[in-house]
């Protein structure tokens, strides 16, 4: 019996790791299960097939100050922030109807009357006859992570604002001065048309070098804040990015984009564009591949961005592989727009990064704006 109870506690605790486990909870192990989970430093709960809460572990009182016994049934919902109550009930109802996993992040009123963010995860469980018996789940305080996420959001938004400012200064100030300097050198070259060859050659070389610097400056400005993204939308910007990358890095990038789509909000468009930039940069720096592919799809449920290459790959199970800081940046940008990222890679087998952003994110119509970049 003790071993069986330990297995039930383990089944409950793995929810915090994100695994989708469907345990079998029998009446014989229920009392032992309740005794074990009452000592766990997180909230563990069970419901019946109708969604009524039948058990809440003692840590609920530590977190909220509320008596677990008094919050059985549907009364636990009173501890949630008023704006989250309907969503929590809807999430649980959908999970009951689908016999599926229930996952959500909600605000719960603490003992000190301030609200804590919690991650609530539940999976269906079944009786000894294989009949659906309800859900079993955990409720974990993620307030510290939410605070860190908010700081990261501010940092990323600040970085985008600074990118825009620097790009504008490069274009409007440095770019104009370089253009004027180029005109001056052309005038000097004209004045020296009767001078000795070496002087004219030196001036011409200087003018050519200035032209390269001006082109590089324009490219840096474009990468920092691409005007095509703002004026034409995400699809032309991604196509232009792939074309420019192919020309600059000598890595051929094929682009496959869905032209019949509604453009995402500026936040989502910027995030997806930066993710594509970061992925292609990793291809050039680390993969050793001579080609890559970028795919953009807009389905009914989500936007899909896929960047793949046939390079050296890496062990995607590692916490921080080569180029890992770039992958961290990608994950944070995806999180900011409510999406998810999947990374598939193995040594010698290339890399595929799949980004999914729910279609519930705001979109702006692209009628009259659809165009392709050269």
**Type and span of the H or E element at 298:** strand 291-298
| pLDDT of amino acid 178 | 82
Mean pLDDT of 255-265: 77
Mean pLDDT of the region 288-313: 88
Q: 118-168 pLDDT, tens per residue?
A: 999 999 988 888 889 999 898 889 888 888 877 877 777 777 777 778 877
* C-alpha to C-alpha distance for 224 and 164, rounded to whole angstroms: 7
**3-state SS assignment for residue 38:** coil
pLDDT of residue 352: 92
For the residues 300-321, what does the mean pLDDT come to?
A: 80
Residues pairing with 363 in the sheet: 264
Least confident segment among 21-30, 70-79, 120-129: 21-30
Average pLDDT over residues 46-69: 90
Q: Looking at 54-63, 71-80, 129-138, 309-318, which range is the least confident one?
A: 309-318
**pLDDT value of position 363:** 46
Q: Give the residue extent of every domain in the chain.
A: 2-141, 143-225, 232-374
- The pLDDT of residue 362 is above 70: no
17 pLDDT above the threshold of 90: no
Query: In this structure, which topology does domain 2-141 adopt according to CATH?
Result: Beta-Lactamase (3.30.450)
Residue 177 pLDDT > 80, yes or no?
yes
Average pLDDT over residues 15-30: 47
Q: What pLDDT shows up at residue 315?
A: 79
Question: Tell me, what's the pLDDT at 15?
Answer: 40
| Pick from 104, 103, 118, 137: nearest CA to 8 | 137
For the chain, the average pLDDT equals 79
> And the tokens for 251?
């890595």
First to last CA, the chain: 70
Mean pLDDT of 225-243: 82
Mean pLDDT score, 268-276: 88
Share of the chain above pLDDT 90, in %: 16
Least confident segment among 87-101, 124-138, 261-275, 340-354: 261-275
Q: What share of the chain is helix, strand, coil (3-state, %, to 5)?
A: 50, 20, 25
- The reported pLDDT for the residue numbered 324 is 55
What are the backbone angles phi and psi of residue 107, rounded to the nearest 5°? Answer: -100, 130
What pLDDT score was predicted for residue 147?
Answer: 83
Mean pLDDT of 52-70: 90
d(CA 116, CA 207): 62
For residue 42, the model assigns a pLDDT of: 86
* Mean pLDDT on 162-189: 80
Overall average pLDDT of the 231-244 stretch: 86
d(CA 103, CA 120): 6
Domain 232-374, what architecture?
2-Layer Sandwich (3.30)
Residue 314 pLDDT grade (very low, low, confident, very high; cuts 50, 70, 90):
confident
E strand or H helix at 224: helix 197-224
What the block records as the tokens of 224 is 């920092």
Please name the residues in contact with 132: beta carbons below 8 A apart, sequence gap of 6 or more: 49, 99, 124, 126
pLDDT at 360: 58
Where does the pLDDT of residue 4 fall: very low under 50, low under 70, confident under 90, or very high at 90 and above? very low
Percent of the chain with pLDDT over 70: 82
pLDDT over 50 (residue 253): yes
pLDDT at residue 66 in the model: 92
């Amino acid at each position: 019996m003790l071993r069986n109870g330990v297995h039930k506690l383990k089944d409950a605790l793995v929810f915090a790791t994100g695994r989708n486990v469907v345990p079998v909870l029998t009446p014989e192990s229920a009392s032992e299960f309740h005794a074990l989970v009452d000592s766990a430093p997180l909230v563990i709960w069970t419901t019946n097939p109708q969604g009524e809460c039948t058990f809440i572990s003692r840590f609920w009182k530590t977190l909220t100050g509320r008596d677990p016994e008094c919050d059985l049934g549907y009364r636990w919902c009173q501890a949630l922030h008023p704006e989250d109550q309907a969503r929590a009930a809807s999430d649980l109802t959908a999970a009951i109807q689908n016999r599926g996993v229930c996952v959500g992040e909600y605000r719960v009123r603490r003992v000190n009357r301030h609200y804590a963010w919690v991650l609530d995860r539940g999976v269906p469980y079944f009786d000894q006859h294989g009949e659906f018996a309800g859900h079993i789940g955990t409720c974990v305080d993620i307030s510290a992570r939410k605070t860190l996420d908010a700081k990261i959001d501010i940092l990323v938004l600040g970085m985008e604002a600074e990118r825009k400012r620097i790009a504008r200064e490069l274009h409007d100030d440095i770019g104009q001065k370089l253009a004027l300097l180029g005109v001056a050198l052309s005038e000097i070259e004209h004045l020296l048309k009767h001078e000795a060859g070496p002087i004219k050659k030196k001036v011409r070389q200087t003018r050519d070098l200035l032209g390269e610097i001006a082109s590089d400056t324009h490219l840096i400005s474009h990468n920092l804040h691409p005007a095509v993204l703002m004026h034409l939308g995400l699809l032309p910007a991604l196509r232009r990015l792939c074309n420019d990358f192919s020309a600059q890095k000598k890595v051929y990038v094929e682009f496959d984009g869905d032209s019949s789509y509604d453009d995402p909000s500026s936040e989502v468009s910027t995030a997806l564009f930066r993710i594509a930039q970061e992925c292609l940069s990793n291809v050039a720096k680390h993969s050793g591949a001579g080609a890559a592919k970028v795919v953009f799809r807009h389905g009914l449920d989500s936007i899909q961005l896929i960047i793949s290459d046939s390079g050296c790959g890496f062990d995607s199970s590692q916490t921080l592989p080569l180029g890992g800081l770039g992958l961290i940046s990608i994950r944070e940008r995806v999180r900011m727009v409510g999406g998810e990222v999947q990374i598939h890679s193995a040594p010698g087998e290339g890399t595929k990064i799949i980004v999914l952003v729910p279609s519930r994110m705001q979109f702006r119509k692209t009628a009259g704006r659809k165009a392709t970049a050269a």
